[in-house]
Structure 1
Amino acid sequence: MNIGMIGIAACLGLSALGSALGAGIAGMTAIGSWKKCFLQNKPVPFLLVAFAGAPLTQTIYGFILMNQIKGSSLDEIAKMAVGLFAGLAMGASALYQGKAAAYAADALAETGQGFGNYILVVGLIETVALFVMVFSMGLVG
């Protein structure tokens, strides 16, 4: 058994799991926010799609890192460790980005203001996943 393959699969799988959960949370809130706007005859902000889709990028980062780990010369235990922990970190980033995006969608739909502030916070959470990917790529060489 090649335990390095566990890390390769975990890197993509865990980052994608976080993306699915985060996008689901943000998407459900976007739908609820649109419903509130329709009921109140307010303009319906299409920008909520940006919040709903924000957590999806962590899947891409997981895929990029997965390929780096797969092609690296690290021993199998190191591959497993990097993939597992990086996948967990990127997945957590996506999950919490989705939660922040959900609050942002609700606030934007209710007030019609603050998009720049909200997207900034969502982007800051994204930065965690980018750091994990880049620093992990430095580890695997």
Structure 2
Amino acid sequence: MNFESSVDIITEWDIVAARQLGRNKAKEVGFGTVDQARITTAISELARNIYIYAGKGKIEINHITEGNLKGLLVIASDEGPGIVDVRKALEDGYTTSGGLGAGLPGVKRLMDNFKIETVIGEGTKISATKWLR
């Protein structure tokens, strides 16, 4: 069961579509309702960041396997301004948009693996994995 799906993030409605896709994919892999909620919340934060900071980008949701492990890999990518201070962006409560500041630190907590690649003026790619327990 290998599938790949993505949603282009251009409008606020695309955030909703990405969340829904994430929930559906999490169900297909076999995640329970709590982990489905964690995954959709993480996707929502990542998609919202794309919409607010980059203007447009993409959320990709891939089913992955590693040995006997099954999981979901969420990749949020954009060609926006990049993240100037990744360490600061990962601090709880830090916000540049006037939001709650739960964004990236929240995603990092909700998922099992988390990686940021960013180049100023070129964009950002965030990969987050959740493994089925």
Which is higher, the Rg of structure 1 or of structure 2? 1
**With CA pairs under 8 Å and 6+ residues apart, which has the higher RCO, 1 or 2?**
1
What is the TM-score when the length of structure 2 is the normalising length?
Answer: 0.37
What is the TM-score when the length of structure 1 is the normalising length?
Answer: 0.36
> As a proportion of its length, which structure holds more strand?
2
> As a proportion of its length, which structure holds more helix?
1
